[in-house]
Structure 1
């Protein structure tokens, strides 16, 4: 498989990064049979998405989040108190599936993970240049500086403990080593890791929200 096709396949397997306004401005398309329903957006047809936003409302079966471009509700129907460990003001990464009922869109979450608020600044700045402000740019610079500062430490840990850490942790450490602020190339990770199942591990980390794709073929650690 050539690099272009490999990256296209990986992209189809992972959640697409969106702003909430992208969901609200999209058309929800219902499909028959096993074909998944999807959002028809300017960024393509999306059946699985990734958001970063602040919690502005929460109860037993729903959570309302806001990323400054819009507000949307997360809903669960078969689990109670799933949101009990989250509080108003928490910044969260959400991986889930879009749904629509009576014309109102919402998200069924597969993964919810607390993240630093700087990731929301980076998320918005990288997806919507119209919203880039000095504060958001500074937030991105802070993230890049943290990545640079941690590179030497992570490299030393990797060299000393390479045989003891799991394959998943090895990929995460390698991303942190390679990432100079703009992300790490998936192709380089596959080569440098020397793991036969490196591509599968990267797919799994993307699906679980441990890493995310800042642009096609380039990933970062959350």
Structure 2
């Protein structure tokens, strides 16, 4: 079985995410946004949580992150993703850009509160100092890989990111989420003409019907015809 390499989380501004072109790819290739010609499928952002709203459908929450360049929604299928952060917290976010009905949002993989709010100012300075990718306008937005040698410049920052990477690795080793189980079930039951909704619900544990409705709302899956659903790839 071929092992897929984890994509690099690029340090970007919220405005980069909002203004970049969102590209949907087929198969297992990750969707991405283009920032100065770079394909960014995972982002690394430091900002402040300015809003936290409950989702009446599944009791999950939607956060709004502001880094000074713009505001973007953070959405996930499991409320535990946001349980340790509150409005006013400065957070380190690693996640994947997504788009639904023309709105770009981020699906968090890691969201970690930072005790010292000055790190938000450090990140702003860092993005100003980082050189754009080779071959692009030197006046463009700085977007670079979060390289280990950069993080070692400040011990506190190194610890912060090492903890986040360790947390991310542990997260990847955990069992798949309910939403992932439903998506994998749809793929497994789809012979080309979509998967039967009732079969997916029967094949998936927990609140599968609720998750299917949420996936439909977000545009991760679509209804091919009544009773038949398909993963958007």
How far residue 207 of structure 1 moved from its aligned partner, in angstroms, is 7.7
- Say if 1:96 and 1:109, in contact at 8 Å, map to a contact too: yes
Any residues of structure 2 matched to 1:83-102 within 5 Å, and which? Answer: 83-102=82-101
Q: Find the counterpart in structure 1 of residue 31 from structure 2.
A: 37
Residues 16, 87 of structure 1: alpha-carbon distance in 2 compared, 3 angstrom cutoff: same
CA shift, 1:124, in A, is 1.0
Residue pair 1:55, 1:89 contacting (<8 A) in 2 also:
yes
Q: What SS is found at the alignment partner of 2:15?
A: helix
- Structure 1 gap segments, 5+ residues each: 1-9, 130-171, 185-201, 210-222
The DSSP-based 3-state class of the residue aligned with 2:30 is coil
Cα distance in 1, alignment partners of residues 13 and 73 from structure 2 = 13
Q: CA deviation at 1:18?
A: 0.7
Equivalences for residues 98-117 of structure 1 within 5 A:
98-115=97-114, 116-117=116-117
Larger helix percent: 1
Distance in 2, Cα, partners of 1:80 & 1:101:
20
Deviations 1:91-150 (A, max 9, x none): 000100000011110000010101121111111111136xxxxxxxxxxxxxxxxxxxxx
Instruction: Show the counterpart of 2:64.
Output: 64
Are residues 1:121 and 2:81 paired?
A: no
Distance verdict in 2 for CA 1:179–1:27, change over 3 Å:
closer
User: Contact 2:7–2:41 (CA<8 Å) still a contact in 1?
Assistant: no
What is the CA-CA distance between 1:34 and the residue it aligns to? 1.0
- CA–CA distance in 1 between the matches of 2:21 and 2:53? 28
Q: Give the TM-score, by structure 2 length.
A: 0.51
1:205 aligns with one of 158, 165, 169:
165
Number of residue equivalences: 136
Structure-1-length-normalised TM-score: 0.53
Instruction: Kindly state the Cα deviation for residue 27 of structure 1 after the two structures are TM-superposed.
Output: 0.3
Q: Structure 1 pair 31/121, CA: closer, same or farther in 2 (3 Å)?
A: same
3-state SS of 1:119 partner = helix
Matches within 5 A, 1:150-189: 179=152, 181=154
Q: Is the 8 A contact 2:62 2:76 kept in 1?
A: yes
- Output the aligned Cα RMSD: 3.4
What's the CA shift for 1:206?
7.3
Deviation of the 1:42 alpha carbon: 1.0
Change (3 A) 1:102 1:180: closer
